[in-house]
Structure 1
């Protein structure tokens, strides 16, 4: 793996890393981590949980090529790939670390010279408005990004508040200076993604409009308001859906130049300036899910001035406030960069989805008013229920409670009577499996984070779990499993439904709802129905009650699993690990199975046609970039060999996280990979969200203080910490030894100190 450290971070020299870093924690964050290969992060400017993600895009990839799916689309889920030599422009919405593409709204690109409204190509950027660039002239920080556009001799700088992106373009002397607004551009771009766009020139510095798309989200409308610091002297547009420049509006107006408004499916507009050498033209670009008036109100509320540096400083102060919730002392400079970049990535989403007045677009495509909570979107729940939302229950409990309220609002607006599965921007994508909003809600209730109506929340969870039309649930409720001949990925679905059902049972028991508790406790046992004891693996079962005959425990293709195989999914019973171990033959059989996951060699066929798996992200058959295995290193804690959890965790931390652009061993998945890193670095992990128990591991920090919202602090200390001393000799909570390798959430939020005593040999 190439070591590609962002140049900006080479200037930070700290002589003794065992000292606590200064409060300017922003300096340790490298947004370039994950921008190369599979991490799918973006390097641009955003505020914590911000609605605007203003970032460079390095290519425009069509979704289809010659009538078939274009696999290159997968590379550009975040719009940026570190290896690319050109930038096509700066758009205002991006996913962080996903395995699917969308967004990329409202691309701006400053240019000089002859006006060109097509983006050009990577091989020949001069044929369009894109530009070559060098990483030597690029810098990325929280809430700040800059790059030199070599072909146009322009320095582009970006910063952002929650709902407003701010651009600062330093031009050369030119009578042909332009800012292009591309309303066609998008990530996950294919023909007819744009269903409609509208542009209105309010005056010579203010433009408003909207964009409607049919991409991953079926129907998404984003409104904007754009203001220039300097009046443009002329403007124009081209509608590419016509194949030519507009000849007129109802044959009465020339709509291509200086016309006050334009609408169409494929629009690009331009705004012309005359500039002096070193002149800065600034742009404020506000978004709204509701209206152009909402976008204008957001702009006026969040950036009522033209001071770019002030916006940068204030947004970075917000980042320092959020990053300061965990103060860590770490062994090396790279450890600091990895730790605080991971913390940064966990605070990128879910994203705010409402105007400053609380209005937002709902799942029913009507406008709603958030009452007493902030509405959030971008819920990649199949990923984030595992560690990200449990992480929020420690460091962002108020936000996580608002996220639960957002999910319940989604439920209220759903014609399906379902909580979100994978939702964004007032749409349900139905991506992946399970109904893991149930896990997020249960975890928040069980840990006391959610202060709202818990019975209402439980009713929404139950209604979701009883939705017979959803993804094999009717068979699951009838048979106790999903049959593979009726519904694919049947084993994965059965296992994940059973876990979610267990979460419902925990909340029902807490609330005294015994009928619900009994029903879902029974459903939570359904994992046993797909376990084939004759071979010792989970196995797809058919509707006639027999196991599927043609079966390969290593294959990921058509074997009843999704993003995994029987070898690793057989370990997915997070809510009953002790019972799972006994069913699988006890420690004598289970531990060798678990060992083999990390030590075996996969055949070449395993990598065939797997666009989201590379050899770099795999340790044996353990695929860290695929979330079903995220808890498995901690399963040794339920066996007689818990020290193996300690060595496995430290090995994964070292191999799967590097302080380089290619430093993530898989998609960051909206912060899930980063949340795993943070939990594991601190020495504990939520194996089964919905339980209040954390499994202990082997901390990578020397010290850390978690500042809780209740005003208390929880400290972690690892004595005799070193790269070799990965084994825990004993653990003390507030000076008292722990008899088992577990920590309860109630003890954590009380404040106190967890002390690990480390050594170079296992304590058996």
Structure 2
């Protein structure tokens, strides 16, 4: 009995000790530098999860320089940073993550010593301006922390953030001629008249504040700021670079260039002078607000009242730890770096868009208060509806519900009475096709994550879907397709509207609105109207009801009726009716052959010149993983008698498209969609049709994973016999019971439990 009691006691101690062991630090596996080379278009700088500030270096911009010379490389500098560049222009506070369009880059700060230079200079002659060479050997990029040595001055630049505040720390050499330059005209993709107006006023000898109004991708974007230093500046000055602005009248009665009370104009740069001792740290806090200068000052006082740089850094990294621990995996160091960097990139966007007091600027340009939710912006919905928001419905349920409410607020404030398409900073950018906010709403409602008025959401979705003046919707509703003569994206828009209408039908079904369900489930079948059984492809269709007889090439995009994809890929874009698509394409055998050919055919070289990235990034054969309409394709074998081909293709894509290197993203991350695909696929399942509660299974690459859900439950993923060779699933057990097919439901995950994949080197069937 004594031995038994001793054993029980020892086991209890062991269990208690295991439970009290600190969990592994996961921030160590985040490498923001992944994807900064080539076309990943992510940035290496500091941000907290979903933060309003993204403080990161600019190695160059796509813009006009001060001499009026234009840099045409718009697509290259979408995030302001390219790993292959050798110089840094400065550090700015706003960035898009992984987009295919250049904008933002607000409030660029650059520390210098010696004679003041206000021209950035050029990459080949950085000494001609304030630009500085740097080396990756002296660069650190981590979650919520960035550090680099500026070779021109020897200054060590460090930065971290809170949600609304960028915190700089610059270690200077001894100098009587040290400067901080604040470039209020800089931006990613600058062009004449992008800066509509800037304003700055001096509050005291260590604090300034102001705002910037720009006409970029967002046509009327106003961003307020408050900037404070940890020591008084000895002097401040400005220069107006606009030749068109003439100051006269009462403005001319003050000597306003040095130590001025305020300044306004289109093209303004400001500098602050200091005397520094050796290794003295000049610290700067830059708070942002979408509402007002007072809002920016309050954000700073609320989030970063002191000057403890390390505390702000550590607090932000702890936020990242909390988010990363929502999925805990086992695997190699490489596996963990790929996985947790993907988690990091997936949790950058959407971004918070409101002050600490809950006020934000709406689409109507009025000031609103977010009552009971956090307001978000940066909705790249053509991309993120596919996997990012479904991922949030599992591990970020409260946040995704807030995102849905932000979309409904957008609808209420929209002069067009539409849900968001691609929105940012109280503006609608109208980018890409479809109206995929309805997918986000449907996915949340169907999966029981809708603490908002679902009937109001359905009404907003129907209003958006019936907006006849937008992108061919009138033709789609009347004719069942968009005629080729009427829209350059006629086929892809028809397919995307059909899917969106299916999403609306799912909401209507859930809410027992039978008439609406009947209308939209019928419209969801309109994809059949652009499928040509003779060619076997989705095909441009003329207004007279015939398919375009000439000039059709299934390999190319431009002029074929598709956006960011060709007929080979888009023919498989019917995520909501895969069985119907298989039947239309001639049955199981022909469908499998078609999907096989997508991966085996090599896209002819002549077609790369017409793609946006002009490279072979993200392409396997003719399968374009770097563009999202292909993301569900590998999982479509699950509807056939060859599900093992899904398993084979998924593991191949994971290996080819994702690496823990600077060029480790096979295409734009697209505000987290590419990363979300990786996360789902590494775990072993994927939401082929968001708006459904069903996930298709694949071939997990993790050895073990635990999803820590916000409802307090856990969902565990086990893989037996895991290896690079054992890519084929022999059987799947859900809570100990053998799964009869290759699909699991959302409730299977959210109710907690475990799924076990038994792997092997040979496929079944």
TM surpasses 0.5: yes
Contact 2:176 2:274 in 1 (8 A): yes
- CA distance in 1: counterparts of 2:610 and 2:202, whole angstroms: 48
Alignment match, 1:296: 297
- CA distance in 2: counterparts of 1:123 and 1:728, whole angstroms: 54
Alpha-carbon shift at residue 22 of structure 1 (Å): 4.8
Alignment match, 1:524: 524
Alpha-carbon shift at residue 557 of structure 1 (Å): 1.4
- CA distance in 2: counterparts of 1:709 and 1:622, whole angstroms: 36
- CA distance in 2: counterparts of 1:544 and 1:67, whole angstroms: 49
SS in 2 for 1:53: coil
**Structure 2 unaligned residues grouped into runs of 5+:** 1-20
Alignment match, 2:538: 538
- CA distance in 2: counterparts of 1:571 and 1:244, whole angstroms: 55
Alpha-carbon shift at residue 188 of structure 1 (Å): 1.7
Contact 2:117 2:130 in 1 (8 A): yes
- CA distance in 2: counterparts of 1:574 and 1:77, whole angstroms: 30
SS in 2 for 1:75: coil
Contact 2:66 2:119 in 1 (8 A): no
- CA distance in 2: counterparts of 1:723 and 1:529, whole angstroms: 43
- CA distance in 2: counterparts of 1:565 and 1:408, whole angstroms: 33
Alpha-carbon shift at residue 609 of structure 1 (Å): 2.9
Alpha-carbon shift at residue 250 of structure 1 (Å): 3.0
Name the Cα RMSD after superposition.
1.6
Q: Which moved more, 1:428-437 or 1:61-70?
A: 61-70
- CA distance in 1: counterparts of 2:189 and 2:757, whole angstroms: 47
- CA distance in 1: counterparts of 2:589 and 2:40, whole angstroms: 37
Alignment match, 1:685: 686
Give matches, 1:151-190, under 5 Å.
151-190=152-191
Contact 1:613 1:625 in 2 (8 A): no
SS in 1 for 2:232: coil
Alignment match, 1:673: 674
Alpha-carbon shift at residue 251 of structure 1 (Å): 2.3
Q: Does 1:455 align with 2:485?
A: no
Alpha-carbon shift at residue 602 of structure 1 (Å): 1.6
Alpha-carbon shift at residue 269 of structure 1 (Å): 0.1
- CA distance in 2: counterparts of 1:595 and 1:149, whole angstroms: 50
Give matches, 1:203-602, under 5 Å.
203-242=204-243, 250-330=251-331, 332-550=332-550, 551-602=552-603
Alpha-carbon shift at residue 34 of structure 1 (Å): 0.7
- CA distance in 1: counterparts of 2:116 and 2:48, whole angstroms: 33
Contact 1:495 1:526 in 2 (8 A): yes
Alignment match, 1:700: 701
Contact 1:119 1:128 in 2 (8 A): yes
- CA distance in 2: counterparts of 1:682 and 1:517, whole angstroms: 33
Alignment match, 1:4: none
- CA distance in 1: counterparts of 2:244 and 2:237, whole angstroms: 16
- CA distance in 2: counterparts of 1:147 and 1:67, whole angstroms: 30
SS in 1 for 2:74: helix
Alpha-carbon shift at residue 247 of structure 1 (Å): 9.1
Residues 439-497 of structure 1 deviation map (CA, whole Å, 9 limit, x = unaligned): 00000000011121100000000000000010000110110001110111100000000
Alpha-carbon shift at residue 587 of structure 1 (Å): 1.0
Alpha-carbon shift at residue 544 of structure 1 (Å): 1.1
- CA distance in 2: counterparts of 1:384 and 1:573, whole angstroms: 17
Q: Against the structure 1 CA distance between its residues 64 and 303, is the aligned structure 2 distance closer, same or farther, given a 3 Å change threshold?
A: closer
- CA distance in 1: counterparts of 2:269 and 2:62, whole angstroms: 17
Alignment match, 2:646: 645
Q: Against the structure 1 CA distance between its residues 70 and 117, is the aligned structure 2 distance closer, same or farther, given a 3 Å change threshold?
A: closer
Alpha-carbon shift at residue 649 of structure 1 (Å): 0.2
SS in 1 for 2:217: coil
Contact 1:247 1:256 in 2 (8 A): no
SS in 2 for 1:268: strand
Residues 64-109 of structure 1 deviation map (CA, whole Å, 9 limit, x = unaligned): 9999995411110001000111100000000000000111000000
Alpha-carbon shift at residue 61 of structure 1 (Å): 2.4
Residues matched between the structures, number? 744
Alpha-carbon shift at residue 242 of structure 1 (Å): 2.7
Q: Which moved more, 1:235-244 or 1:378-387?
A: 235-244
Alignment match, 1:41: 42
Contact 2:617 2:666 in 1 (8 A): yes
SS in 2 for 1:76: coil
- CA distance in 2: counterparts of 1:650 and 1:71, whole angstroms: 37
Alpha-carbon shift at residue 60 of structure 1 (Å): 3.0
- CA distance in 1: counterparts of 2:66 and 2:132, whole angstroms: 24
Contact 2:63 2:72 in 1 (8 A): no
Alpha-carbon shift at residue 613 of structure 1 (Å): 4.9
SS in 1 for 2:430: coil
- CA distance in 2: counterparts of 1:221 and 1:95, whole angstroms: 16
Alpha-carbon shift at residue 720 of structure 1 (Å): 0.3
Give matches, 1:183-198, under 5 Å.
183-198=184-199
Alignment match, 1:722: 723
Alpha-carbon shift at residue 616 of structure 1 (Å): 3.5
Residues 553-604 of structure 1 deviation map (CA, whole Å, 9 limit, x = unaligned): 1111100111111111000000000110011000121110000000111211
Alpha-carbon shift at residue 699 of structure 1 (Å): 0.1
Q: Against the structure 1 CA distance between its residues 278 and 248, is the aligned structure 2 distance closer, same or farther, given a 3 Å change threshold?
A: farther
Residues 672-715 of structure 1 deviation map (CA, whole Å, 9 limit, x = unaligned): 00000000000000000000000000000000000000000000
Alpha-carbon shift at residue 335 of structure 1 (Å): 1.1
Alignment match, 1:15: none
Q: Which moved more, 1:613-622 or 1:186-195?
A: 613-622
- CA distance in 2: counterparts of 1:195 and 1:255, whole angstroms: 21
Q: Against the structure 1 CA distance between its residues 238 and 93, is the aligned structure 2 distance closer, same or farther, given a 3 Å change threshold?
A: same
SS in 1 for 2:82: coil
The two structures have a TM-score, normalised by structure 1, of: 0.96
Residues 30-59 of structure 1 deviation map (CA, whole Å, 9 limit, x = unaligned): 000011110000000001000000000011
The two structures have a TM-score, normalised by structure 2, of: 0.96
- CA distance in 2: counterparts of 1:289 and 1:309, whole angstroms: 27
- CA distance in 2: counterparts of 1:439 and 1:703, whole angstroms: 30
Contact 1:246 1:256 in 2 (8 A): no
**Structure 1 unaligned residues grouped into runs of 5+:** 1-19
- CA distance in 2: counterparts of 1:324 and 1:184, whole angstroms: 40
Contact 1:210 1:221 in 2 (8 A): yes
- CA distance in 1: counterparts of 2:336 and 2:256, whole angstroms: 55
- CA distance in 2: counterparts of 1:683 and 1:553, whole angstroms: 31
Q: Which moved more, 1:557-566 or 1:600-609?
A: 600-609
Alignment match, 1:60: 61
Residues 514-571 of structure 1 deviation map (CA, whole Å, 9 limit, x = unaligned): 0100000110000000000111111010111111122111111100111111111000
Q: Does 1:77 align with 2:78?
A: yes
SS in 2 for 1:673: helix
Contact 1:435 1:497 in 2 (8 A): yes
Residues 144-196 of structure 1 deviation map (CA, whole Å, 9 limit, x = unaligned): 00000010110000000000000000000000000000000001211110000
Alpha-carbon shift at residue 246 of structure 1 (Å): 7.2
Q: Which moved more, 1:62-71 or 1:265-274?
A: 62-71
